[in-house]
Amino acid sequence: MSETPPTNVPKSKGWIRLAVDFGGLLAFFIGYLTTHSLVSAAWWLVAGSAIALVVGFVSEKRLAPMPLISGVLALVFGSLTVFFKDPIFLKLKPTITMTLFAVVLLGGLAAKRNFLKMLMGSELVMTDAVWRTFTLRYGIFFLAVAALNEVVWRTQSESLWAIFKVFGILGLTILFSLSQAPLIMRGMKQAEGQGGPPADPEETKAAPPIIE
């Protein structure tokens, strides 16, 4: 999963953040193209995720919560795949990860705690009502992607699932994030009307973490 780099981040830092966010996923894809085996590609995933986390920590002396969680989950599920020599763990990772984040977001709303606002509140200034809608939509989206992953890995070939994992989930998340721009702008304008900072169209580019 990834966080959109702020626009004021130096270009070199931006590349480092991209490497941290997508290093493990890219390593997995290269590994699968090379070996045509999910178990072998899991080695690449584990190595790529570990290196990405180290690079991110060394370069910024910290790790943002979402890349850290995503990297740790990649290490866990990749290691289970390698240890048991069973690709089922890799196939279940998106389902479990997406469901976990959905439960956290939706459960937080039920408990009147908006975890997405806590994560992104420094990037987006919106009214609480819009934040609730924004979070609810993402919770439902994550559940839908979890269900779709189950359908794909259970009904399609291993190679097609690998493509879906790398490009399908990422593409769907980006498209869904872009589709939320009107809601974000409305929330920002409402917040501005209540005394918040002026709405900046550039801030609509800020997106919740991309979970891979």
Cβ count within 10 A of residue 166: 18
pLDDT per position as a tens digit, 153-184: 999 999 999 999 999 999 999 999 999 999 99
Please state, in angstroms and rounded to a whole number, the distance separating the CA atoms of residues 96 and 104: 12
Q: DSSP assignment of 191-202, as one string?
A: HHHTT-PPP-GG
Q: Which residues of the chain have pLDDT under 70?
A: 1-17, 19, 64, 195-212
Query: What are the domain boundaries of the chain?
Result: 11-205
